[in-house]
Structure 1
Amino acid sequence: MEDGVTERGDSEGRFKPHFLIVMYPVQGHINPARRLARRLIHVGGAAHVTLSTSVSGHRRMFPCSSSDDDEEVTDGPISFIPFSDGNDEGTDPGAPDARRRFARTRSVGSQTLSSILDRLAARGRRVTCVLYTILLHWAADVARQRGIPSALCWIQPATVLAALHRFFHGHEGLVAAHARDPMHASFREVFETLDREGPRPRVLVNTCEASEGDALGALEAELELYAVGPLVPALLPAQEVKDARSEADLFAPDEKGYMEWLDAQEARSVVYVSFGSLVVMKKKQAEEMLMGLRESGRPYLWVVRRDSRGSTDQEECPGTEEEEDEEAGGAGMVVEWCDQLEVLAHRAVGCFVTHCGWNSVLESLACGVPAVGAPQWADQGTNARLMEEVWGTGLRGEMDEEGVLRCEELMRCLEVVMGEGERAREMRTRAQAWRERAREALAPGGSSDQSLRAFTAEVARSCMR
């Protein structure tokens, strides 16, 4: 603990809260949670932020730490301490027994999270607010039982939040096909948890007024919303960007010299391809992607994770071996993982072919890079629509009946986005304009900056009552 700072105030008597952020152990949840933690320290006046994910996720983030489940890793005013979800050796998030796994996570996780609150209090860092990401809604129940304020960290667009809120409040019967989907039950439980919190429960949303003002406005009467994004380091002040560089990921960046390779490419010439941390690309999709990239004649940097190098029939994805790259005349580079923000910010990158995960969409927006979308599931279709129809910063590829982005369609999209036509020029202009709007929202006095300050002030008032 820093000298002169306690859970009740600093040396001048000002209240300094301690936030506990409970995050699901996948990269798409961890990234915004960590970035929010930095913002709470730099902008929100927090004395300390503790990030908690599952034991298995914690071990992947900090492989050099001991196997002691109680071990706390500290980085200045931010620390990491794991909770057990009953699957400490790790479980594939896409495993078929999702319902049983979520139930076990809730049961075991509630107990271990409660013990974490006890341990932190015993160490002189009593938690004053619990924040939780999607799929860990039970953390709010643990907090409420202890009289601790809580808030949901919504890591998808406000547009999806508005649609799901409406769906689960009077319109659930309209789409009966979702009833057997494990994710349907999980989202329903999120909104049931919010309803138990009373009128207008607190929700932090990773977006800004400029990009989704209508969706945020549609929920004002039901939820106490705080638009605090986009939570992307590239948009933040220099000190926050510097701090973010030391963050640990679930995946280690490839040791290939991909940044040096980018340095050798012409400006806006490279196609960057990544389908995130969860998507396992179908063999057919990988084949079409490889053909499209090669036949486009453009240099490409393609992220293919080691755990996605086989389709459901365990056949190796094409295009993932260096010898194939060499056969193509050295036009492309394939890596297992990379620093996506560093890549997108590079002058050589002219297009991002993405699965349209919300983090990836926001990162392309933050770096002013137009995108080609190939959405796979969940919120990604909505994200692609926002990108193409609302912001005008990208193009959604047309998938075939098997859900595959074919070679010819990829080539068409790349030409539209990276060519010299009027639409390509307009996309690049709009991408740059939206980058500046997002930066303004996070700047001192901007809408997201003010929203985060309002949230922490409300938490302080709740704790002092």
Structure 2
Amino acid sequence: MKCRHYLILFFPVQSHINPSLQLAKNLAGSGAKVTLVTTNRGLKQMKSLPTLKGLSYASFSNENDDDYQSSSGFSSYVASLRSIGSQKLMRLMEKFSDDGEPVTLLVYSILLPWVAVVARELQVPSAFLFIQCATAFTIYHRFFNSQDGIHGRMDPSVSIKLLQSLPLFSFSDLPSFLLPDSPLSGFMIPVLQEHIQVLEQDPRSFVLVNTFEELEQESFKDIANMNIIAVGPLIPLAFCDGSDLTDKSFGGDLFSKSEDYFQWLDTKPKCSVIYVSFGSVAVLKKEQKEEILHALVESGRPFLWVLRSSNSEEEEVHKTMKNGVKGDGIIVPWCSQVEVLSHQSIGCFVTHCGWNSTLESLVSGVPLVCCPQFSDQTTNAKMVEEVWGTGVRAKANEESIVERGEIKKCLDILIGDEDRGKRIRENAVKWRGLAIEAVKEGGSTYNNLKKILEISG
């Protein structure tokens, strides 16, 4: 049997890096050779890359020093990544073949549908690593499939029934990129359409979804005509089945993290701390930060808040906020989220509801206060509150600000003694158990990983 060689190409942002790295570690741990590929700048920015037998890294240069925040804009950056990346990827694949290590499966993440075209030209199987939930993929497929896609034929005022087992979805529950007034819809809709099209064009291709079958059974049934494989939760193994206690972080952080918060957490009672983080991309308005701060302080509960600064002006604002913290709370610029969520002191998580954060909370058994900002976060919040029952969705005002009173109300539900809060906490514990069972030997995700090794070997 030929040597299995997986090449995983990912976009260099934190939410894409984490699941890509974890999939790479899981495959390499099964004895395969895995090469992770991104841009030069992206690879340089990643701190503490995992070192594992069979795991290696490669990168390629792009225009504007690989800076997608340059004046040329995000869409221009992605376009140049396509034109330059296609050529560089083809050369890299040819080099591996010349060196006697041909790639047997080419894996790519969202924003990179052109990778599947390169794979087809080289007659190499490809897989789309979908880093959102399976329900989001079902929505994209419902909108953009070539047979009966509903994109452009929907009335925004009418709720839709995606699946019989799911509640009605209003337009505001759908991924924001599908909404005509979204700033990025003009860019993202063609990208999402292309993702679905390239999958339809190649019957050998398949989709790897960062979820587990038990969590989204009905969504998997709805897209059963496609080759869909659940490979999640893509979480460091120390926090899943405990099969590798040394695997405690994803590696590849783009941000420098604090370390002193663990000693602080160790001093707190079980399930008492409110953890707050809005991920690596979302930028909160100053008014929203102030409302969160007031809600946390007025709650009278200990809290750990991750508050990133993207410029000197924000740094000054955050210094002022830190100085204004009264009571038992700390603010840090970044942290190891999976380690924090697994700490026994954490009682709930105030989150933007990005899929990585949502999945990490499920694995940790931590209930959520959902404050979605954009992208698939609105869909995740819908599922958390109405399907999985592991949290509550905070309601924003007309200016899209979640006010302090609303945040406090949600916190009281999750940490208080009300029946609703008890049910939510019980559901969180239930899903944690099912997530861990999925990755254990004989579980659905464990078996799916074996399936990938078999079909690409």
Q: Same fold, TM exceeding 0.5?
A: yes
TM-score range (shorter-chain normalised) is 0.7 to 0.9
Q: Say if 2:411 is the partner of 1:400.
A: no
Residue in structure 2 matched with residue 34 of structure 1 by the alignment: 21
**In the TM superposition, what whole-angstrom CA distance separates every residue of 1:27-80 from its partner, at most 9, and x where no partner exists?**
1111111111122133xx44211111111110101599xxxxxxxx96421111
Residue in structure 1 matched with residue 212 of structure 2 by the alignment: 208
Find the aligned partners of 2:309 and 2:68 in 1 and give their Cα distance. 16
Match for residue 331 of structure 2 among 331, 334, 339 = 334
**CA apart distance, 1:180:** 5.3
**CA apart distance, 1:384:** 0.7
Q: Segments of 4+ in structure 1 off by > 6 A?
A: none
**In the TM superposition, what whole-angstrom CA distance separates every residue of 1:148-200 from its partner, at most 9, and x where no partner exists?**
111100110110101110101221212582795211121112112212213x7
**CA apart distance, 1:235:** 4.4
**Alignment coverage as a number of residue pairs:** 427
Residue in structure 1 matched with residue 270 of structure 2 by the alignment: 267
SS in 1 for 2:211: coil
- Relative to structure 1, the CA distance from residue 79 to residue 241 in structure 2 (aligned partners, 3 Å threshold; closer, same or farther) is farther
Residue in structure 2 matched with residue 140 of structure 1 by the alignment: 116
| Unpaired runs of at least 5, structure 2 | 155-178
2:251 partner amino acid: E
Find the aligned partners of 1:75 and 1:246 in 2 and give their Cα distance. 12
Q: Say if 2:374 is the partner of 1:377.
A: yes
Q: Equivalences for 1:298-313 in 2 at 5 Å? A: 298-307=301-310
Find the aligned partners of 2:381 and 2:316 in 1 and give their Cα distance. 25
Q: Equivalences for 1:44-59 in 2 at 5 Å? A: 45-59=30-44
Find the aligned partners of 1:194 and 1:136 in 2 and give their Cα distance. 12
Q: Equivalences for 1:311-460 in 2 at 5 Å? A: 318=317, 320-321=318-319, 324-325=321-322, 327-460=324-457
**In the TM superposition, what whole-angstrom CA distance separates every residue of 1:222-278 from its partner, at most 9, and x where no partner exists?**
x111111111125434354413547231112124x1001111112111110000000
Is this contact kept in 1: 2:297–2:327, CA < 8 A? no
Is this contact kept in 2: 1:86–1:109, CA < 8 A? no
**In the TM superposition, what whole-angstrom CA distance separates every residue of 1:361-394 from its partner, at most 9, and x where no partner exists?**
0000000011100001111011011111111111
Residue in structure 2 matched with residue 67 of structure 1 by the alignment: none
Is this contact kept in 2: 1:287–1:317, CA < 8 A? no
Find the aligned partners of 1:134 and 1:46 in 2 and give their Cα distance. 26
Find the aligned partners of 2:422 and 2:233 in 1 and give their Cα distance. 24
Residue in structure 1 matched with residue 191 of structure 2 by the alignment: 186
SS in 2 for 1:399: coil
- Relative to structure 1, the CA distance from residue 84 to residue 139 in structure 2 (aligned partners, 3 Å threshold; closer, same or farther) is farther
SS in 2 for 1:333: strand
Find the aligned partners of 2:242 and 2:48 in 1 and give their Cα distance. 28
Find the aligned partners of 1:119 and 1:333 in 2 and give their Cα distance. 50
1:147 partner amino acid: Q
**In the TM superposition, what whole-angstrom CA distance separates every residue of 1:105-126 from its partner, at most 9, and x where no partner exists?**
1001111111222333344422
Find the aligned partners of 1:89 and 1:220 in 2 and give their Cα distance. 38
Find the aligned partners of 2:271 and 2:452 in 1 and give their Cα distance. 39
Q: Say if 2:263 is the partner of 1:286.
A: no
Find the aligned partners of 1:324 and 1:201 in 2 and give their Cα distance. 50
With normalisation by structure 1, the TM-score equals 0.86
Q: Equivalences for 1:76-225 in 2 at 5 Å? A: 76-92=53-69, 97-169=73-145, 170-174=149-153, 177=180, 181-198=186-203, 201-221=205-225, 223-225=226-228
Residue in structure 1 matched with residue 257 of structure 2 by the alignment: 253
**In the TM superposition, what whole-angstrom CA distance separates every residue of 1:416-463 from its partner, at most 9, and x where no partner exists?**
011122111211111111000011111111111112211221122xxx
1:293 partner amino acid: L
Q: Please identify, of 345-354 and 75-84, the stretch whose mean Cα deviation from structure 2 is larger.
A: 75-84
| Unpaired runs of at least 5, structure 1 | 1-8, 10-14, 65-72, 461-465
Residue in structure 1 matched with residue 229 of structure 2 by the alignment: 226
Find the aligned partners of 2:346 and 2:232 in 1 and give their Cα distance. 24
Is this contact kept in 2: 1:325–1:331, CA < 8 A? no
**CA apart distance, 1:401:** 1.2
2:54 partner amino acid: P
RMSD: 2.3
Find the aligned partners of 1:49 and 1:366 in 2 and give their Cα distance. 26
With normalisation by structure 2, the TM-score equals 0.88
Q: Please identify, of 441-450 and 348-357, the stretch whose mean Cα deviation from structure 2 is larger.
A: 441-450
Is this contact kept in 1: 2:305–2:332, CA < 8 A? yes
SS in 2 for 1:135: coil
Is this contact kept in 2: 1:35–1:244, CA < 8 A? no
